[in-house]
Chains A and B, each alone.
Chain A
Amino acid sequence: MIKLKIDGREIAAEPGATVLEAAQAYGIYIPNLCAAKGLTSYGGCRLCLIEIKGRRGYVPACCTPVEENLEIITETPQLRELRRLTLELILSEHPHACLICSEKENCEDHKSTIRKVVEPTGCVLCPENGQCRLQEVVEELKVEGVRFPASYRNFEVLREDPFFDRNYNICILCARCVRVCAEVRGASAVTVVFRGPQAIIGTALDRPLLDSGCQLCGACVDVCPTGALTERALKGEGLPDETRSTICPLCSVGCTLEVGLRKGRILNSYPKNGHPVNEGQACVKGRFVLRDVVHSPKRALRPMLRRHGELAEVSWDEALDAVAQGLKAHPEGGTAFVVSSQMTLEDQYVAGRFTRSVLNVEPVLDSPGPSPLLAFRKVLQEEGISSPLNLEVASLSEAGFILVAGADLTRSHPILWVNVLKAIQKGAKLVAWNQGPSPLDRWAALSLRTEPGYEAAVLGYLGRWLLERRPKEQLASIPGYDELKASLELVSPAGGISAAGLTMEEVQSVGTLLDEARPGVLLCGSELLGRPDAGAVRMLWNLAQLVGTKVIPLAAKNNERGIAELWSSEAANGLSVDQVAQGIGKGRFKSLYLTGIFPLLGESRPELLIVQDCYRTANGQLADVILPALTWAETEGTFINVEGRIQKFKRLLDPLGEAKPDWWIFCRLAEKMGRKDFAFQSPMEIAEEISRTVPALREASLPHPKKGRPGFVLEDKKSTTRFLPLGRPGGTARIDSDLAAAEVGLSTLDTYRGLNLCEEIKGLRRLREKSQLRDRKLKG
Chain B
Amino acid sequence: MLTHPSQIIAWKARILEERPAPKKTAVVSNGICGRASGSLGIIAALNRELDRRGLRDTVGLEVTGCHGFCELEPNIVILPEGIYYGRVKPEDIPSIIETTILKNKVIDRLVYADPKTGRRYALQKDIPFYRKQMRLLTEDNLRIDPDRIEDYILADGYQALAKALFDMTAEEVIREVDAAGLRGRGGAGFPTGKKWQFCRKEIADRRYIICNADEGNPGTYMDRSILVANPHSVIEGMIIGAYAIGAAEGYIYVRMEAPQAVRQVTIARDQARKCGLLGRSILGSEFHFDIQIVEGAGAFVCGEETSLMASIEGRRAVSRQRPPFPAQSGLWGQPTNINNVETWANVPLIVKRGAEWYSLIGTPKSKGTKIFSLVGKIRHGGQVEVPMGIKLREIIYDIGGGIKDGKKFKAVQTGGPAGGFLPAEFLDLAIDYDNLVQAGSTMGSGGMIVVDETTCMVDLARHYMHFTQEESCGKCVPCRVGTRQMHEILVRITRGEGEEEDLARLQELGESIMVASLCGLGQTAPNPVLSTLRHFREEYFEHIRHRKCAAGVCRELLSLPGQDSPRTGRKTNKGQHD
Residues of A within 8 A of B (CB): 41-46, 49, 57-60, 63, 81-82, 85-86, 89-90, 92-93, 147-149, 151, 173, 175, 191-192, 194-199
Contact B488 A44 (CB under 8 A): no
**In the complex, what residue of chain A is closest to B509 when comparing beta carbons?**
A85
Question: How many residues of B are in contact with the other chain, CB < 8 A?
Answer: 31
Q: Does B512 contact A (CB under 8 A)?
A: yes
CA distance in complex: A775, B481 (Å): 42
Measured between beta carbons, the chain B residues less than 8 angstroms from A58 are 515-516
**In the complex, what residue of chain B is closest to A151 when comparing beta carbons?**
B484
19 A-B residue pairings within 8 Å (CB atoms): A43-B518, A44-B475, A46-B477, A46-B517, A49-B516, A58-B516, A86-B477, A86-B512, A89-B477, A89-B478, A89-B482, A90-B481, A173-B474, A173-B475, A195-B317, A195-B473, A196-B471, A197-B472, A199-B474
Q: Does B320 contact A (CB under 8 A)?
A: yes
- Digit string of B155-197 for contact with A (CB within 8 Å is 1, else 0)? 0000000000000000000000000000000000000000000
Measured between beta carbons, the chain B residues less than 8 angstroms from A198 are 474
User: Which of A42, A57, A173, A192 makes the CB contact (< 8 A) with B515?
Assistant: A57
Measured between beta carbons, the chain A residues less than 8 angstroms from B318 are 192
Contact A196 B515 (CB under 8 A): no
Shortest CB distance A224–B (Å): 17
Q: Does B117 contact A (CB under 8 A)?
A: no
Q: Does B301 contact A (CB under 8 A)?
A: yes
Shortest CB distance A43–B (Å): 4
Given contact pairs A60-B321, A195-B474, A148 touches B516 in the complex (Cβ within 8 A): no
Shortest CB distance A775–B (Å): 26
Measured between beta carbons, the chain B residues less than 8 angstroms from A192 are 316, 318, 474-475
**In the complex, what residue of chain B is closest to A191 when comparing beta carbons?**
B316
Measured between beta carbons, the chain A residues less than 8 angstroms from B249 are none
Q: Does B212 contact A (CB under 8 A)?
A: no
Contact B508 A92 (CB under 8 A): no
Q: Does B392 contact A (CB under 8 A)?
A: no
CA distance in complex: A60, B317 (Å): 20
Q: Does B150 contact A (CB under 8 A)?
A: no
CA distance in complex: A192, B516 (Å): 21
Given contact pairs A49-B516, A86-B512, A92-B485, A197 touches B320 in the complex (Cβ within 8 A): no
Contact A92 B481 (CB under 8 A): yes
Contact B518 A46 (CB under 8 A): yes
CA distance in complex: A739, B481 (Å): 59
CA distance in complex: A81, B469 (Å): 23
User: Which of A43, A46, A149, A194 makes the CB contact (< 8 A) with B320?
Assistant: A43
Shortest CB distance A181–B (Å): 14
CA distance in complex: A224, B119 (Å): 72
Q: Of residues 452 to 504 in B, which have CB atoms within 8 Å of A's CB atoms?
A: 469-478, 480-482, 484-485, 488
Interface of chain B, helix or strand or loop or mixed?
Answer: helix
Shortest CB distance B303–A (Å): 14
Contact A90 B474 (CB under 8 A): no
Interface centre among A44, A60, A196 (most CB of B within 10 A): A196
Measured between beta carbons, the chain A residues less than 8 angstroms from B474 are 173, 192, 194-199
Contact B469 A43 (CB under 8 A): no
User: Which of B317, B469, B485, B516 makes the CB contact (< 8 A) with A46?
Assistant: B516
**In the complex, what residue of chain B is closest to A45 when comparing beta carbons?**
B477
CA distance in complex: A277, B509 (Å): 47
**In the complex, what residue of chain B is closest to A174 when comparing beta carbons?**
B477
Shortest CB distance A110–B (Å): 32
Contact A86 B478 (CB under 8 A): yes
Given contact pairs A86-B477, A90-B481, A199-B480, A149 touches B472 in the complex (Cβ within 8 A): no
With A45-B476, A58-B515, A85-B509 known, 9 other A-B pairs at CB within 8 A are A44-B476, A46-B476, A46-B516, A85-B512, A89-B478, A89-B482, A92-B485, A195-B472, A196-B471
Q: Does B299 contact A (CB under 8 A)?
A: yes
User: Which of A175, A195, A197 makes the CB contact (< 8 A) with B484?
Assistant: A197
Shortest CB distance B523–A (Å): 9
Measured between beta carbons, the chain B residues less than 8 angstroms from A151 are 484
CA distance in complex: A73, B565 (Å): 56
Contact B481 A196 (CB under 8 A): no
Shortest CB distance B479–A (Å): 9
CA distance in complex: A49, B513 (Å): 13
Measured between beta carbons, the chain A residues less than 8 angstroms from B477 are 44-46, 86, 89-90, 173
Interface centre among A41, A45, A60, A148 (most CB of B within 10 A): A148
Contact B518 A44 (CB under 8 A): yes
Contact B478 A46 (CB under 8 A): yes
Contact B476 A43 (CB under 8 A): yes
Contact B469 A196 (CB under 8 A): yes
Measured between beta carbons, the chain B residues less than 8 angstroms from A85 are 508-509, 512, 516
CA distance in complex: A497, B59 (Å): 73
Measured between beta carbons, the chain A residues less than 8 angstroms from B476 are 43-46
CA distance in complex: A44, B321 (Å): 9
**In the complex, what residue of chain A is closest to B487 when comparing beta carbons?**
A197
CA distance in complex: A194, B485 (Å): 19
